[in-house]
Copies of this chain bind each other. A is one copy, B any other.
Amino acid sequence: MFTLHHQDKNTKARRAALKTSHGEIQTPFFMPVGTNATVKSLSNEDLENIGSQVVLSNTYHLFLRPGMDVIKNAGGLHKFMNWNKPILTDSGGYQVFSLSQFRKITDEGVKFQSHLDGSSHFLTPEDIVSIQGILGSDMMMPLDECAPYPCGEKEAKKAVERTTLWARRSREFFLASPLKGKHLLFGIVQGSNYKNLREQSAKEIVDIGFDGYAIGGVSVGEPIEFMFHAIAQAGPFLPKDKPRYVMGIGLPDQIVKAVGEGIDMFDTCIPTRYGRNGSAFTSRGRLVVRNAEYTSDLRPLDDQCDCYVCQKYSRSYIRHLYNANEITGLYLISYHNVHFYIKLMQRIREAIESDCYDQFQKEFLSCYGSTL
């Protein structure tokens, strides 16, 4: 299901295709985040126009609202949200730890209170796979324990052990269910910022055997270089014939660097969140379009961009809409930003195919700038 098309000569970057029940995805790829079964402020038509291959949605949020009955009634998440391309759903583990009002974690599973209405829930790793089965996710994530940052080694080790235990139970449940063959189940590597734990976790998770491997426990408030440590620590133990996914990453320059380290899959709510905050991504870095300097600037957000927003609207107009609290303003910036991410991945794929990824990286960063 994962076909390697090309390995870049000078970096670890690779071009591949990942086969799912809703079509093949060209890697490396970016997944816009649709927490509540929609990418914030965009419609599916927008995502199709932009050329998004896939959408990510959040199990925790959908489980609580609208709830499984509603999605089951619609015939699954694809039909519910009318999105016919692949969907990845996370496990909800991260959300349980970061959002719920109360939580108790045992080896058996997680007990938590909804951040919406305080209702109590208990979910096992098997439940999490089962729920994603009802959602009909093409790519499922097993329940894992995401260690906070910072995290002591003992606590991080416990999280690794529990993540492995849950991964094994998830995989066994998955293989014994009708989900097998129709869906992909990923494994998640934990280990915080400890080399030995990242190695241990990667080995144990790979030993169980999954359809793809994610590096979790990043993007939890740690310095960004720790994410690259985690990639460097776990990477050597991940099989080359499976997709690699760094969860919740990142800014454009971070994605460009991570692809060079052999990562295939990314997701982050940054393009839409920054869009709602009035910040546009451009080939020359971030542009805070709400700023006064753009009051009468008739140029597009990015003169290198071919999205319809940049063909049709000026910074002056978009700034006005944003400052007048018009939804259309944050919509236009969000559209442009998601387009920026999707086109960036397209350029990344082309650069790898042409064996010039290192040159692409340099050119991109010299124009865009770097946060690293």
Q: Which residues in A have some Cβ–Cβ distance to B below 8 Å? A: 36-45, 61, 65-66, 69-70, 73-74, 80-82, 295-296, 298, 308, 312-314, 316-317, 319-321, 323-324, 326-332
Are A70 and B331 in touch, CB under 8 angstroms? no
Tell me the complex Cα distance, A324–B36, Å.
Answer: 7
Tell me the complex Cα distance, A317–B81, Å.
Answer: 6
Query: Do A45 and B308 contact each other (CB < 8 Å), given the known contacts A38-B326, A321-B36?
Result: yes
Tell me the complex Cα distance, A320–B332, Å.
Answer: 23
Chain B residues contacting A331 (CB-CB under 8 Å) are 41, 43, 327, 331
Are B40 and A295 in touch, CB under 8 angstroms? no
Tell me the complex Cα distance, A38–B313, Å.
Answer: 12
Tell me the complex Cα distance, A74–B296, Å.
Answer: 8
Chain B residues contacting A43 (CB-CB under 8 Å) are 328, 331-332
A305 to chain B, nearest CB (A): 16
Number of copies: 2
Are B313 and A82 in touch, CB under 8 angstroms? yes
Tell me the complex Cα distance, A80–B314, Å.
Answer: 8
The interface centre, meaning the residue of A37, A44, A327 with most chain B CB atoms within 10 A of its CB, is: A327
Tell me the complex Cα distance, A41–B325, Å.
Answer: 10
A129 to chain B, nearest CB (A): 23
Chain B residues contacting A66 (CB-CB under 8 Å) are 295, 316, 319-320, 323-324
Are B82 and A312 in touch, CB under 8 angstroms? yes
Known: A40-B327, A45-B308. 6 other contacts (CB 8 A): A37-B321, A38-B329, A41-B331, A66-B316, A66-B323, A73-B298
Chain B residues contacting A323 (CB-CB under 8 Å) are 65-66
A312 to chain B, nearest CB (A): 5
Tell me the complex Cα distance, A211–B316, Å.
Answer: 33
A100 to chain B, nearest CB (A): 17
Q: Which of B42, B61, B73, B317 contacts A82 (CB 8 A)?
A: B317
Chain B residues contacting A41 (CB-CB under 8 Å) are 327-328, 331
Are A40 and B328 in touch, CB under 8 angstroms? yes
Chain B residues contacting A308 (CB-CB under 8 Å) are 45
Tell me the complex Cα distance, A346–B66, Å.
Answer: 37
Tell me the complex Cα distance, A44–B314, Å.
Answer: 14
User: A329: nearest residue on chain B (CB-CB)?
Assistant: B38
Query: Do A44 and B312 contact each other (CB < 8 Å), given the known contacts A36-B326, A73-B296, A295-B70?
Result: yes
Tell me the complex Cα distance, A43–B44, Å.
Answer: 15
Tell me the complex Cα distance, A317–B66, Å.
Answer: 9
Q: Which of B39, B69, B324 contacts A296 (CB 8 A)?
A: B69
Are B42 and A328 in touch, CB under 8 angstroms? yes
Chain B residues contacting A327 (CB-CB under 8 Å) are 40-41, 327, 330-331
Are A74 and B36 in touch, CB under 8 angstroms? no
A371 to chain B, nearest CB (A): 28
Query: Do A40 and B326 contact each other (CB < 8 Å), given the known contacts A66-B320, A317-B80?
Result: yes
**Which 6 residue pairs spanning A and B have beta carbons closest together?**
A36-B324, A66-B320, A38-B328, A41-B327, A73-B296, A82-B312
Q: Which of B40, B65, B320, B329 contacts A320 (CB 8 A)?
A: B65
Are B82 and A316 in touch, CB under 8 angstroms? no
Chain B residues contacting A39 (CB-CB under 8 Å) are 328
